[in-house]
Structure 1
Amino acid sequence: MVRKWLLPTLSEVLAKAEPTGIDLLVPEFSPPDPQPASDRQELELRANSQWHSAIASVETLLLKSLPTPIGGEDLTEETVIEGLLIAAPLPLFSHPTLVSQLQTITFTTPHSSRQLLPCKSKANDRHLERSHHFPIEILPTDPLADERFCLVLTEQFSLVVVLGEEDGNPRCQFSFDPDDLDLAWKSLRGRIMLTAPQHLSYLDELAAQFSPIEPDYRWVVAFSQSLLEHQPVAPLAPTQPTVEVPTKVAADVELIQALTHEIRTPLTTIRTMTRLLLRQPDLSPRVLKRLSAIDRECTEQIDRMELIFSAVELATTEPSRAIDLTTMSIGELLEQNLPHWQQQAERRNLNLAVDIPHKLPTVVSNPTILDRVLTGLVENFTRNLPSGSRIQVEVTPVGDKLKLQLQSRSEADDTPTATKTDRRHSIGRLLTFQPETGNLSLNMNVTKNLFQLLGGKLIVRQHVQQGEVLTIFLPLSELGSRG
């Protein structure tokens, strides 16, 4: 049940921002809808693991950024405050360097605050502030009590990490974005105003002194790398049935999983920094165009890595955990993707011609994975065509199937056009590599298997003049076939 409250939780704050969740760095396929009990437990374990990895990474960054204490590590009233740390529901760090130089606030429930500091009288407010650590109670009905979070504001970097829920599923998220951090602070400040207004002036001064700053890319890279290093390798549950995978394919799977992680990490960092730069005012059209191109290329590569990772995961999944298929609108999916496919074609000096009926029947498939597979298929198809070609996309119902066909034609005389010489090389049993473009993609056999898992079929025909002709069949839903 979704609870409405007067102030947003930190998960709600980050859910409205650009996606910067930890699963962008450590990709896992998880359906968007609330999950059954067994799947939810798995998601909770994953989110908790990501939270612990993130907090360990935050501690690493803080120890690198804060100066080494001089003259011992004892707390004194004269110790210079180097930053503000707000956490919940318990203190996160015990390292003397962090304890002595960060003003730490712990948001607690009434029960947990009694465990932290028993003394709560107003006469001791200033003493608590000088102690560099004190708790602030939140209202028992506040949904923030269900979240774990860490907000760090220093002169070197600013960061927020939160373990909560998004769309009913457990999720760990983080952000270096100053706008997100400002909203997070305002959300916490509102709660301080409600339950501990006597501390508001002091904390406002610290928040102003260490106001959120634009992140230096080196801190983002360091955090991302540390996050991956702290990710544990979860053992398989002894009661979980496993799939027998040939040794060579298993080696490919391990390589691909490592490869997707290593590629996504810098790309996610670059895209995050690029989107922050795109928010800057007064960018020249030339700079704006180049930054937009960087953002677009990073997104396309990240999406390709997601498809590869998902395909590998599905290839090694036991049949009892097959893809969830549902009735979906193929018309909406094509409408959402056609502008992107059009842009891809224009960048390669190709023309995209589409012949789609005004009203299309519904089909049975998995919308998320079908979207990724179709996008990857169209991208690979366009990369292998000579400049000036026209791509013909035709969609027609055929019996109890929906047929989607891609072929190329000459712009001059509307005759079939041969594709470029296929120089793609196989990498293991799952991937292909195109040296001319540097394109890494799933090989055609894996792509065909994906369409089978999606309830459909992919047919690839080679013609001497026409090159590849791709034909996809998707099963119509009962509602679609009646319509």
Structure 2
Amino acid sequence: MSGTSLQSLRERLALDAASGRCDESGVRRLWWAGLEILQEGLLKRGVQQGIWMASPLPALYEPDLLRHLQGWVWAPENLDRFGPFNAALPGSGVHHQDGIRFRRLPLQEDDGFDPLLLVITPSLQVALAIHGSPGCRQLLMRSDPDTLGDALALCGARLREHSPDLAEELKDQLNSLGPLHSDAELEQQFWPRLAEKLTVTAPSLTLQPTPTTGSTMDQPEDLSLLEAITHEVRTPLATIRTLIRSLLRREDLPEVVQKRLRQIDGECSEQIDRFGLIFHAAELQRQPEDTQLARTDLGSILQTLEPLWKDQLARRQLSLSLEVQPDLPDVLSDPRRLEPMLGGLIDRVSRGLPSGTGLRLLLQPAGARLKLQLLVEGQEKSNTNGTSMDASRNERVGTVLSWDPTTGSLQLSQAATRQLMASLGGRYHARRDRDLTVFFPVAPSPG
């Protein structure tokens, strides 16, 4: 490992710190709560100048801060392949957009993908990072001058190896901000405030823990990055959803406000589940898991989820009808993961359909299996043939995603969808006209 790698920087921040005990989902919630506390502190102080350095994605998101602070982002080159995600990153070199200033720097092979952020301003100076092996993850926060000085020295040495001019630019910016100093208020308040944040931020049930067994050294770079991105998307959405549901418990909200909040809640839930599937698909690609199937009442699951799907589709002026034949046997599947996967199939088929289109969901016996069909109906069906479900028009984004350049729709690839469904006991068949069929094995009779 290089002495100037970002992993070395994280290890310096972790020096003298106790080992962590968090799983991946827990440490990501800590990270987002920490970012919120840090940005609240910067805004409260009215910071007008400073720098921030982040990896592998921009960490700050408050527009007022981004407009006043100069950003440096170590980002992987292959992030360009992730289509819509690239909009969150600066391009090569200096990036200016709506007054927001970034400088993009290359991420090296031994840097890792754990989030990292350094913020240096005249009044507040701090480093945040996620560190640790699976099952022993932790959020690091350091604000003492010795640690920050070592971290900045490492960043400067790294820049000198590749671009002495950039190293001098960073040095000049730091000199203009004054000497490093401790902040007693931040050190005393950060962790208590973090605990307060977490008390009102319930974890999302759709966040899947990263497996703690097996080697992680052979993870393909794209899949590790994709997992990091999905965490960064889902965690703040889960926070927003929790806050919205807290607001909805108030009795003094006007009806129109309640309606809008419920719409936002629905959109958050839909995207959390969508990115949860992407995360699980990436997990299966890098570390296939043993299938553990159980008796599952598929018909009951469909009938329970039908109102939710109808509400989601109604926001796009689409309709859904469900037909479940009576007295159907149970199937073998994983009901906990099957529910979001079924929602993912609804989203996959419906995305990009014109208003007024109807979907028809059928469950019926087919020999030793149950056949689940999702059909597009109505006069608009002929206009959907060969669109985003047509693999020939989609661009593959790694092994997990496909992207329709005509609509900007990002979704699981056919291969990833098939693998996900196979892990749930289903055999997935898709047609070019968006219709799809999944066969589930019937569970053996008890006794």
Q: TM-score, normalised by structure 2?
A: 0.53
Q: What's the secondary structure of 1:479's corresponding residue?
A: coil
Q: What's the secondary structure of 2:364's corresponding residue?
A: strand
CA distance in 1, matches of 2:186, 2:28: 31
Q: What's the secondary structure of 2:295's corresponding residue?
A: strand
Instruction: Give 1:333's aligned residue.
Output: 301
Instruction: Give 1:469's aligned residue.
Output: 435
C-alpha contact (below 8 Å) 2:134/2:212 kept by paired residues: no
Matched ranges for 1:11-30 at <5 A:
22=26, 25=29
Q: What's the secondary structure of 1:407's corresponding residue?
A: strand
Is 2:327 aligned against 1:362? no
Letter of the 2:442 partner, please give it.
Answer: L
Q: What's the secondary structure of 1:280's corresponding residue?
A: coil
Q: Shift of residue 434 of structure 1?
A: 4.0
CA distance in 1, matches of 2:403, 2:259: 29
Is 2:423 aligned against 1:419? no
Instruction: Give 1:76's aligned residue.
Output: none
Is 2:425 aligned against 1:389? no
CA distance in 2, matches of 1:289, 1:278: 10
Q: Shift of residue 438 of structure 1?
A: 4.8
- Of residues 375, 378, 382, the one that matches 1:410 is 378
Instruction: Give 1:224's aligned residue.
Output: none
CA distance in 2, matches of 1:324, 1:334: 21
Q: What's the secondary structure of 1:478's corresponding residue?
A: coil
Alpha-carbon displacement from aligned partner over 1:385-414 (angstroms, at most 9, x marks no partner):
2222221211111111110011112169xx
Instruction: Give 1:165's aligned residue.
Output: none
Gaps of at least 5 residues in structure 1 are: 1-20, 28-44, 61-94, 103-149, 162-173, 181-233
Letter of the 1:403 partner, please give it.
Answer: K
CA distance in 1, matches of 2:287, 2:187: 49
Instruction: Give 1:79's aligned residue.
Output: none
Q: What's the secondary structure of 2:434's corresponding residue?
A: strand
- Of residues 49, 59, 63, the one that matches 2:136 is 49
Change in Cα spacing, 1:451 to 1:158, as seen in structure 2 (3 Å) is: closer
Instruction: Give 1:285's aligned residue.
Output: 255
Is 2:399 aligned against 1:399? no
Instruction: Give 1:176's aligned residue.
Output: 200
Instruction: Give 1:159's aligned residue.
Output: 195
Q: TM-score, normalised by structure 1?
A: 0.49
Alpha-carbon displacement from aligned partner over 1:169-211 (angstroms, at most 9, x marks no partner):
xxxxx3236xx9xxxxxxxxxxxxxxxxxxxxxxxxxxxxxxx
C-alpha contact (below 8 Å) 1:159/1:176 kept by paired residues: no
Q: What's the secondary structure of 2:280's corresponding residue?
A: helix
- Of residues 425, 428, 447, the one that matches 1:455 is 425
Instruction: Give 1:351's aligned residue.
Output: 319
Change in Cα spacing, 1:235 to 1:47, as seen in structure 2 (3 Å) is: closer
Letter of the 1:374 partner, please give it.
Answer: L
Q: Shift of residue 322 of structure 1?
A: 0.8
Change in Cα spacing, 1:273 to 1:255, as seen in structure 2 (3 Å) is: same
Letter of the 2:397 partner, please give it.
Answer: I
Instruction: Give 2:278's aligned residue.
Output: 308
Change in Cα spacing, 1:151 to 1:332, as seen in structure 2 (3 Å) is: farther
Q: What's the secondary structure of 2:321's corresponding residue?
A: strand
Letter of the 1:22 partner, please give it.
Answer: G
RMSD between superposed Cα atoms in Å:
3.8
Q: What's the secondary structure of 1:468's corresponding residue?
A: coil
Is 2:340 aligned against 1:372? yes
Alpha-carbon displacement from aligned partner over 1:21-58 (angstroms, at most 9, x marks no partner):
7277499xxxxxxxxxxxxxxxxx989735x53xx56x
Tell me which moved more, 428-437 or 469-478. 428-437
CA distance in 2, matches of 1:272, 1:278: 10
Letter of the 1:302 partner, please give it.
Answer: I
C-alpha contact (below 8 Å) 1:361/1:476 kept by paired residues: yes
Percent identical: 34
Gaps of at least 5 residues in structure 2 are: 1-24, 32-131, 144-181, 203-209
Aligned residues: 273
Q: What's the secondary structure of 2:353's corresponding residue?
A: coil
- Of residues 402, 407, 411, the one that matches 1:441 is 411
Letter of the 2:136 partner, please give it.
Answer: S
C-alpha contact (below 8 Å) 2:352/2:407 kept by paired residues: no
Change in Cα spacing, 1:175 to 1:242, as seen in structure 2 (3 Å) is: closer
Change in Cα spacing, 1:235 to 1:393, as seen in structure 2 (3 Å) is: closer
Q: What's the secondary structure of 1:271's corresponding residue?
A: helix
Alpha-carbon displacement from aligned partner over 1:200-232 (angstroms, at most 9, x marks no partner):
xxxxxxxxxxxxxxxxxxxxxxxxxxxxxxxxx
CA distance in 2, matches of 1:290, 1:267: 16
CA distance in 2, matches of 1:374, 1:344: 13
Instruction: Give 1:164's aligned residue.
Output: none
C-alpha contact (below 8 Å) 1:363/1:475 kept by paired residues: yes
Instruction: Give 1:255's aligned residue.
Output: 225
C-alpha contact (below 8 Å) 2:281/2:420 kept by paired residues: yes
If you compute each CA radius of gyration, which structure gives the higher value, 1 or 2? 1
Q: What's the secondary structure of 1:260's corresponding residue?
A: helix
